[in-house]
Copies of this chain bind each other. A is one copy, B any other.
């Protein structure tokens, strides 16, 4: 139940295609079921600071098997898990990180995207996730 490098590439390239179609410059990271880096690409001229954010989004999505944007709803002041971002050497809890499931619905890894608006990042990540189901 672990994403293959072929599928990680497939997700990466589908996300990159979506970014290019949307004229957004992003960094894209895919981690495996163990939350270890599996594949990564940094588009030319994308933000330097997005390398780490993309990787952390992918890891966060797999650490808790959740859309990073959903996690962020719980980490606000007064929230149930306020400031959990301090754990695991830094989590990112805004949109752009999504678990990747195989065709049987089993989580096999996660994808993280950074460089656009949070809506763009989430849409690009979604394109990567969906490519695995085709």
Which chain A residues have a beta carbon within 8 Å of chain B's beta carbons? Answer: 2, 4-5, 8-9, 32-44, 47-53, 56, 60, 62-65, 72, 75-78, 80-94, 117-118
- List 12 additional contacts besides A32-B42, A80-B117, A81-B118; criterion CB under 8 Å: A4-B44, A8-B41, A34-B35, A38-B41, A40-B40, A40-B41, A49-B87, A53-B84, A77-B77, A80-B94, A83-B83, A86-B91
Q: Give this chain's copy count.
A: 4
Q: Give me 12 A-to-B residue pairs in the complex whose CB atoms sit less than 8 angstroms apart, sorted by A's number.
A: A5-B42, A36-B42, A39-B42, A40-B40, A47-B63, A52-B89, A53-B84, A53-B87, A72-B82, A75-B83, A80-B117, A81-B118
